[in-house]
């Protein structure tokens, strides 16, 4: 995200991360991880370049700002300092940078930076002690490939999307494409990292196949094709049964196993045969 203050003529490159990343201390050089590569790029992306690209006038200064979990601030600052030193060693002039900590509490979201403010700044307020931040990307393997909660959220969204797609087909044939279903639930799908898309698509395909196998027991016909599934609802009778199934607790309730078995998700009870 890029923020611009017209009054100050200042550009802020805002980058949010769920956790910090470090450097390869065994060799003394920065690691080749995607996050480190991105950090180098952002440090070299000066405010003049950003302002020129976006057509911002009266630009005077800029800063790269990382927002990260409060407990990771120190490590992230060390990483950015080390990368900046590395870039200066190659004759480059890295952008000024800062790291802000973010923490969630029962009454909202707080940002903190001891160099700017002594007290944490509340940027979002809530009276609900059980609230959680909504993820724009439910599961991001580039951040945490073992994020079980993220996988569950991804499956929940896929489950909702597949049900809507199948019901909207009505009586007759229609196409269900796993890529299209992923695009519906992940807003940045088309510009997302290809490796992330590949990982998420593989999980989505397995889950969609499990859903269709269960739904076939109440009258849904499907055939696997190269890039998706040809889905058929033969008559209005089957359509009514499928709508009831997708609206029932059998479809929407129950735990989902971390590793989806090929024979179908454990959250499904056996549908009633027609």
Q: Each residue of 123-148: pLDDT tens digit?
A: 777 776 665 666 677 888 877 778 88
Task: Read off the tokens for 214.
Answer: 């269960």
pLDDT at position 26:
45
Residue 176 falls within a domain, yes or no? yes
Q: What average pLDDT does this structure show over 92-98?
A: 91
**Residue 107 and residue 17 share a domain:** yes
Residue 56 falls within a domain, yes or no? yes
How far is Cα 33 from Cα 43, in angstroms, rounded to an integer?
16
**Residue 120 and residue 16 share a domain:** yes
**Residue 153 and residue 117 share a domain:** no
**Angle, in degrees to the nearest 10, between helices 236-246 and 148-169:** 160
Residue 188 falls within a domain, yes or no? yes
Last residue of a domain, one of 125, 140, 166: 125
Give the dihedral of Cα atoms 21, 25, 26, 27; nearest 10 deg: 100
**Residue 121 and residue 54 share a domain:** yes
Centre a 10 Å sphere on the Cβ of residue 230 and count the other Cβ atoms it contains: 13
pLDDT at position 256:
32
**Angle, in degrees to the nearest 10, between helices 178-185 and 148-169:** 120
Residue 219 falls within a domain, yes or no? yes
**Long-range contact pairs involving 176-179 (C-beta distance under 8 Å, separation at least 24):** 176/208, 176/212, 176/222, 176/228, 176/229, 176/231, 177/227, 177/228, 177/229, 178/204, 178/205, 178/208, 178/227, 178/228, 179/227, 179/228
Whether 226 and 179 have beta carbons less than 8 Å apart is answered as no
**Residue 116 and residue 55 share a domain:** yes
Degrees to nearest 5, angle at CA 60 with 54 and 63: 75
Task: Read off the tokens for 36.
Answer: 């480190």
Kindly state the helix (H) or strand (E) to which residue 55 belongs, with its residue range.
none
Last residue of a domain, one of 125, 156, 184: 125
Residue 239 falls within a domain, yes or no? yes
Min mean pLDDT across 36-50, 194-208, 251-265 is at 251-265
**Residue 152 and residue 53 share a domain:** no
Residue 137 falls within a domain, yes or no? no
Predicted TM-score of the model (pTM)? 0.54
**Residue 107 and residue 10 share a domain:** yes
> Could you read off the pLDDT of 190-239 as tens digits, one per residue?
988 898 899 999 989 988 998 998 899 899 999 998 889 999 999 999 99
Q: What residue numbers bound the domain in which 50 lies?
A: 2-125
**Residue 33 and residue 109 share a domain:** yes
How far is Cα 123 from Cα 120, in angstroms, rounded to an integer?
9
% of the chain exceeding 90 in pLDDT: 31
**Residue 59 and residue 111 share a domain:** yes
**Residue 82 and residue 28 share a domain:** yes
Task: Read off the tokens for 196.
Answer: 């992330």
Computed from CA positions of residues 182, 188, 194, 200, in that sequence, does the dihedral angle turn out positive or negative?
negative
Residue 131 falls within a domain, yes or no? no
pLDDT at position 29:
42
Task: Read off the tokens for 111.
Answer: 């940002």
Tally the domains of the chain: 2
DSSP notation for 80-124: HHHHHHHHHHTT--PPPEEEEEEEEETTEEEEE-TTT-SS-EEEE
Residue 267 falls within a domain, yes or no? no
Res. 27: pLDDT tops 50: no
**Residue 152 and residue 120 share a domain:** no
**Residue 160 and residue 121 share a domain:** no
């Amino acid at each position: 995200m890029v923020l611009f203050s017209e009054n100050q003529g200042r550009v802020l490159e805002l980058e949010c991360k769920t956790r910090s990343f470090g450097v390869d201390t065994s060799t003394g050089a920065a690691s080749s991880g995607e996050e480190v590569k991105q950090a180098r790029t952002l440090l070299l992306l000066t405010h003049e370049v950003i302002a020129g690209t976006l057509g911002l006038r009266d630009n005077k200064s800029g800063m790269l700002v990382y927002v990260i979990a409060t407990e990771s601030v120190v490590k992230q600052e060390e990483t950015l300092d080390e990368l900046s030193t590395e870039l200066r060693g190659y004759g480059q002039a890295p952008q000024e940078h800062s790291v802000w900590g973010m923490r969630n509490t029962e009454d909202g979201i707080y940002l903190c930076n001891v160099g700017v403010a002594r007290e944490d700044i509340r940027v979002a307020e809530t009276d609900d002690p059980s609230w959680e931040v909504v993820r724009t990307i439910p599961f991001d393997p580039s951040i945490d490939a073992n994020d079980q909660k993220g996988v569950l959220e991804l499956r929940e969204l896929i489950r909702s999307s597949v049900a809507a797609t199948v019901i909207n087909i009505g009586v007759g044939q229609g196409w269900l494409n796993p890529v299209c279903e992923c695009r519906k639930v992940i807003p940045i799908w088309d510009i997302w990292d290809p490796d992330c898309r590949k990982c998420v698509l593989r999980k989505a395909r397995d889950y969609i196949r499990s859903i269709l196998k269960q739904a076939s027991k109440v009258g849904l016909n499907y055939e696997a094709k190269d890039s998706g599934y040809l889905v058929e609802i033969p008559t209005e009778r089957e359509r009514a049964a499928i709508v009831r199934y997708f609206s029932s607790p059998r479809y929407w309730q129950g735990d989902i196993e971390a590793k989806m078995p090929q024979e179908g998700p454990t959250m499904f009870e056996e549908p009633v045969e027609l």
